[in-house]
Each structure stands twice: as C-alpha cells, then as structure tokens.
A and B are shown apart, each in its own frame.
Chain A
C-alpha cells in the first residue's frame, strides 16, 4: 500500500475537525479532501472541498472518516466499503440496529476493507489501566458495574440535531450513554437480560433525556447499571467495577471540553478480618491522568490494522452491533416509552 495513506473526512463539524488534527499529526496519513453540507466550515481545511460525499469517494482515498449526523452514516459507510475504501465511522453506528447490520452486510461482501467505529473511551489511559487489571484477574471476577454518564445538555440543546429523532435515532443514550454500554461490554462481555426506564424529564425534545437501565448476564449473574442523563447539571463520568477481591472506580474522563473533571482511577484491594470476612473501606490508591491520547491512539490502532492487515479488535463491526443491540433493547425495554414512541415491531 502506497504511503502516506490518503484520507477523506465526510462531515467536517466539531468531530471532523478533531479527526483532522489526528490525521495531521499522523506521519502515515495525508488529508486529501473534506466534505460537508456547509462549505464555510471547510474553509480552513486547506484541502479540496466536496459538497457531495460521492465525489470525495471518487477521489479514491484509502480511508474515510464518517463524522456526519447518524442518519447518513450507514449509506456513506456502505458506499465507501463497496468501493474498497477503509472506513472509520463515529459512534453511534447509525440510528437503529438495522443500520449497523446493513453496514455489516457490506463488510461481508468486501472482506479486505477495514471498518472501525469511534468508541474512543476504550483508549483512555484510565480505562486501559483498569482493563489490564480486570483482564489479569488480580481481583477475581467482575461481579457488577455501575456507570453514570451525564451532561447538562448545553446551549441550544433542545435545537441540537442530536435531539432530532430523524437525524439521530435517539437522545442522550444513543449519543453519550452508548460509550458506557460499550465499556460495560468491554469489561464484562455480553448481557442478555435488560430492565429499563426511558424518560423525558426536562428538555422539550422528541427524544429521551434520561435513561436508567439494569443489564444482566443470566449465565454469570454479572450485572451492570447505567444512568445516562442530559440533566446532569454537574457533568459526570463515573464507572465503578466491583470484583471479588477489590474494586476500581474511574471518575471523570478527559474530554475536549474538559468539563467531566480530571480522569482518575481508584484502585483498592479488599482487606479481611481474622475470620476471612472482607472489612469495609480498604486502602485506596488514586491515579490521575493528565493527557487525553484516546483520539490519536484509536487512529494509530486503525492505521496499524490497515497496514499490517490485522483484524480490527477494538470498536469493530461486532462491537457496533452488540452495543446497538443493547441501545435498542433498552429503548424497547420500557413499555411506556415504547408505546409513546411507536418503537419495535408494533
């Protein structure tokens, strides 16, 4: 494969620009064009502008980053895959599960194409360190996890495209909570039982602004609880992972806005009394992380998969499908919400 790899970015809003920074800083990537409905946003890109994504695909990039509204992701991804172009698409991987399945079908027809989805939280340093501890079994098996991911909405939140169901497919869960669901799977595997409450508490939008859900693996009894919120006035990311012999807490996550606090990982090993019973409040060690390398680490990983023809192991099509399945089942798990929003087969 000829280097540097040629890159096109489709959707040149906030996330598209972040991706461009990663491309600029990667020695093996070269941006050749950007596409957006608004030409003004592309003026500073320094490369060819395309108003139609098909024209950008015709310029034969090796990779495209799909950073559009959720509703356009499937069509663009499938078109790119069909032309043999490697695809990196942002999360969520569409509006509904069916979208991702269609992308998968295209991927099956084009097995040489690499496809990766932007579950960048897996690449945060705190998550990496926690994963290493869980993987090596230092504290035994994961028993349960509790995740809170919430934001205050923000200026113009009620008019944001993310809350237009036709464009986004859902509200805070599919936009932000999906990261937490992906992390639940990353640490604990799959869940087959789901109970959920999906609601609109504050924002006058046609999607949910709060979701509470319980997920359980009926074979292992491992359970996870998520609260995804757009009324978390104090921005919050908290993931607690409790194992048989200790626990981990990732509090705060380094983001572009820096509003979720400093990223910390608390590690504690259980202490036991003379009869072998766990005692409360073991000593804790708190680790602070200063830099968010997740965006670039994610791209490095993808480029390596392409150049070495390795399967995509993180954020691959199966991850996208399984995580979207959880999203869909959480939406459908609340009968009231389901009836009101005409979800599911009925």
Chain B
C-alpha cells in the first residue's frame, strides 16, 4: 500500500475561480428552494459509508440537513432527493447548466495544467506497473473532456468509454473514438481502467458505484477514484462552515475508513490510498479571515493570525503525508 504527496503550489483560485463559484452557489441555493419544496421528493437514508442507522443531525445548509455517522464518521445529506430527482435536478436546473457550461469551462485551464497532468501521470504509472497491456478505459460521469483527450493521447487505449448518466453539453469535445453510454450496469468484466473522478460525493449511492466498478472491471482491472472525505482537515475543522460543503454537490463525504472499507467490500484490493489535497489549510484560513467569529479552536486562530506561509505549507504537506487532507485519491485492483 502506498500514498502520495504533491509538492507544488496549487491555490484554490486555480481550480475554483471565486466569482464564478459564488455565482454557482447563488444559483444552486435558489434552484434548491424551487425544486425541492415537495417533501415527497426527499427520502431518509442510513449512513452511506457503513449503513449505520444511528446517525445524528450535524448542521443545515441550503435547506438540507447534513448528518454525521456515529460509527464511521461519514457526513451526508439526509433526507435527500431520490436518484431520479437528483438526475433531473442536475439536468434541468440553472445551477446544473451553469456548472456544466460556465463553471467547468472556467476551471479547465488551471485543471489542465495542475490537476490533469497529475492524473495522467497517475494513470500512466499504474499502467506501467500493473497493466502494461491495458486497452479499455472507462470514465464514469465524465466532466472534463480535456482529460479524456489527454488519456486518448497516451496511445495506450483501443477503446475509451464515457459513462454519462447526466446531461453533458460538452459531448462534442470528447475524443472522437469515445463510446458514450448512459449506464455501466451492462458492462461486465471488460474494463482495464475504471475512473470516477469527483463523482462519489454527488451520486445517490456511492456503494452502488463501487460495486458497479468492480462488476465492470476485468481481472487485474484498476479502479481509480478521487473524492472528498469527511476525515480531512477542512471538514473536520470547519464542519458546516466550510464554503465547499454544499448540498447536492457534496451529498456524501465518506470518512477515509468508510471509503476504503466499502471499496474493499466491493471486492477490490487497495494499491494506493492518498489524500493529496493542497487546499485545506488555505481554505480554513480564508474562511476564518472572512468570518473571524466562526467557532475555531484558539490554536488555529493563533496559527492563522501569527504564522507565515512556510508554516502553513508545511502543515498542508503534513496533512497529505498522513492522509488527513480532504481530497482523496484511491487506486484499487480487482484480483
């Protein structure tokens, strides 16, 4: 088992342009009020990380309740929209449209440089070490056509499949040889590399995603996932005050333990569990600076008020090194 640390200088503004993100959250807030006034569209769920029924209310955001699990520490929205209601919301809401068109497009350039290159290196490294004959690549709920373009440019794959359970206006930007499907349930024992980047936190049932990935992968196939975890510094410190903890985009924040356990229960063997996030400390600091009244422990207030960038950078590196950042990446293999 291994874990990675990224030694670079990514800033939040690189991947979430502030003005655009604020606009997105504004639309989201309005849309939620318009779409989910009918309680019958919402259902209570058990913990998506461990099925525990013993969960408690944590805080409310944009009319949705976030609950925390007493057993595995996951954080999740319950009651939540049904799977169909979610799909329809992502497809038809103004926020959904804005997310797919403006927000993602604004993120693309920085992502290409700073995030995609790491993902491509990640994919290449795993192929080199575990699957030199990989041929079939599947990406679940593709958001970034550029990434698939770069995957295609690697020249490893005979076939690239993009699963698009939701509407995606940028289909035309996908590589020409991409096969688009809307559901991976019929794909069985075929896939060499199954990727799910930033998806597990916004699907109705993340365990179903993991099981589906296992079902789809062939023997020695790899499952690569990036997501957000409740175990990370940003959410542990800020809790409901985190500016990124917004319902529907963050329906499920599984704890690191729940996440790894569920992927293993699906049948995979872990190769890598990393939290290579580089933004926790910056986000917590900025949130505190914008709102000094939030209930932070005095240690953090002291740190952010009196200590310099070097200390904060070292803290972020420490969080990465010991799997305490909020951004997770996992590679697992189907033996």
CB contacts (< 8 Å) of A328 on chain B: these are: none
CB contacts (< 8 Å) of A286 on chain B: these are: 4-7
Say which residue of B1, B7, B117, B129 sits within 8 Å of A284 (CB atoms).
B7
| Cross-chain contact A267 with B125 (CB below 8 angstroms) | yes
| Cross-chain contact B128 with A287 (CB below 8 angstroms) | no
Provide the A224-249 mask, 1 if CB < 8 A to any CB of B, else 0: 00000000000000000000000000
Of B2, B4, B6, B118, most A-chain CB atoms within 10 Å = B2
- State whether the Cβ of A160 lies closer than 8 Å to any Cβ in chain B: no
CB contacts (< 8 Å) of A138 on chain B: these are: 124, 128
Q: 8 Å CB contacts to B: which residues of A262-314?
A: 267, 269, 283-291
| Cross-chain contact A285 with B5 (CB below 8 angstroms) | yes
Cα distance, A136 to B132, chains bound together (Å)? 9
Consensus secondary structure, chain A interface: mixed
Quote the shortest CB–CB distance from B220 to chain A (angstroms): 14
- State whether the Cβ of B25 lies closer than 8 Å to any Cβ in chain A: no
| Cross-chain contact B129 with A128 (CB below 8 angstroms) | yes
| Cross-chain contact A129 with B129 (CB below 8 angstroms) | yes
Closest residue of A by beta carbon distance from B9: A283
Quote the shortest CB–CB distance from B45 to chain A (angstroms): 33
| Cross-chain contact B3 with A287 (CB below 8 angstroms) | yes
> With contacts A269-B121, A286-B7, A288-B321 known, is A132 near B2, CB below 8 A?
no
Provide the A115-138 mask, 1 if CB < 8 A to any CB of B, else 0: 000000000010011001101101
Of A128, A136, A291, most B-chain CB atoms within 10 Å = A136
CB contacts (< 8 Å) of A289 on chain B: these are: 1-2
CB contacts (< 8 Å) of B5 on chain A: these are: 285-288
Interface size class of B (residues with CB under 8 A): 10 to 19
Closest residue of A by beta carbon distance from B122: A285
Quote the shortest CB–CB distance from A71 to chain B (angstroms): 39
Closest residue of B by beta carbon distance from A282: B8
Interface size on A, residues (CB 8 A): 19
Closest residue of A by beta carbon distance from B3: A288
Cα distance, A138 to B321, chains bound together (Å)? 25
CB contacts (< 8 Å) of B7 on chain A: these are: 283-286
| Cross-chain contact B1 with A291 (CB below 8 angstroms) | yes
Say which residue of A132, A135, A283, A288 sits within 8 Å of B125 (CB atoms).
A132
Cα distance, A132 to B1, chains bound together (Å)? 16
CB contacts (< 8 Å) of B321 on chain A: these are: 288
CB contacts (< 8 Å) of A291 on chain B: these are: 1
| Cross-chain contact B129 with A267 (CB below 8 angstroms) | no
Q: 8 Å CB contacts to A: which residues of B88-110?
A: none
Closest residue of B by beta carbon distance from A265: B2
Quote the shortest CB–CB distance from B154 to chain A (angstroms): 10
| Cross-chain contact A267 with B3 (CB below 8 angstroms) | no
CB contacts (< 8 Å) of A132 on chain B: these are: 125, 128-129
CB contacts (< 8 Å) of B117 on chain A: these are: 283
| Cross-chain contact A267 with B1 (CB below 8 angstroms) | no
CB contacts (< 8 Å) of A287 on chain B: these are: 2-5, 272
Closest residue of B by beta carbon distance from A130: B129
CB contacts (< 8 Å) of B118 on chain A: these are: 285
Cα distance, A284 to B276, chains bound together (Å)? 12
Cα distance, A129 to B321, chains bound together (Å)? 19
Q: 8 Å CB contacts to A: which residues of B112-131?
A: 117-118, 121, 124-125, 128-129
Cα distance, A291 to B272, chains bound together (Å)? 12
Quote the shortest CB–CB distance from A190 to chain B (angstroms): 24
Quote the shortest CB–CB distance from B324 to chain A (angstroms): 13
Q: 8 Å CB contacts to A: which residues of B128-151?
A: 128-129, 132
Cα distance, A128 to B129, chains bound together (Å)? 8
Closest residue of A by beta carbon distance from B129: A132
CB contacts (< 8 Å) of B1 on chain A: these are: 289-291
Quote the shortest CB–CB distance from B26 to chain A (angstroms): 34
CB contacts (< 8 Å) of B125 on chain A: these are: 129, 132-133, 267
Quote the shortest CB–CB distance from B15 to chain A (angstroms): 15
Cα distance, A138 to B8, chains bound together (Å)? 21
Cα distance, A132 to B117, chains bound together (Å)? 19
Cα distance, A283 to B114, chains bound together (Å)? 9
CB contacts (< 8 Å) of B2 on chain A: these are: 125, 129, 287-290
| Cross-chain contact B128 with A283 (CB below 8 angstroms) | no
Quote the shortest CB–CB distance from A135 to chain B (angstroms): 7
Closest residue of A by beta carbon distance from B6: A285
Q: 8 Å CB contacts to A: which residues of B1-40?
A: 1-8
CB contacts (< 8 Å) of B4 on chain A: these are: 285-288
Say which residue of B8, B121, B128 sits within 8 Å of A136 (CB atoms).
B128
Quote the shortest CB–CB distance from A242 to chain B (angstroms): 17
| Cross-chain contact A133 with B3 (CB below 8 angstroms) | no
CB contacts (< 8 Å) of B272 on chain A: these are: 287
Quote the shortest CB–CB distance from B329 to chain A (angstroms): 11
Chain B residues within CB distance 8 Å of chain A:
1-8, 117-118, 121, 124-125, 128-129, 132, 272, 276, 321
Q: List 25 A-B contacts (CB under 8 A).
A: A125-B2, A128-B129, A129-B2, A129-B125, A132-B129, A269-B121, A283-B7, A283-B117, A284-B6, A284-B7, A284-B8, A285-B121, A286-B4, A286-B7, A287-B2, A287-B3, A287-B5, A287-B272, A288-B2, A288-B3, A288-B4, A289-B1, A289-B2, A290-B3, A291-B1
Chain A to chain B: the 4 pairs with minimum beta-carbon distance, closest first:
A132-B129, A132-B128, A286-B5, A136-B128
Question: Given A133-B128, A267-B121, A269-B121, list of 20 further CB < 8 A pairs?
Answer: A128-B129, A129-B2, A129-B129, A132-B125, A132-B128, A132-B129, A138-B124, A283-B7, A283-B117, A284-B6, A285-B4, A285-B5, A285-B7, A286-B4, A286-B6, A286-B7, A287-B3, A288-B3, A290-B1, A290-B3
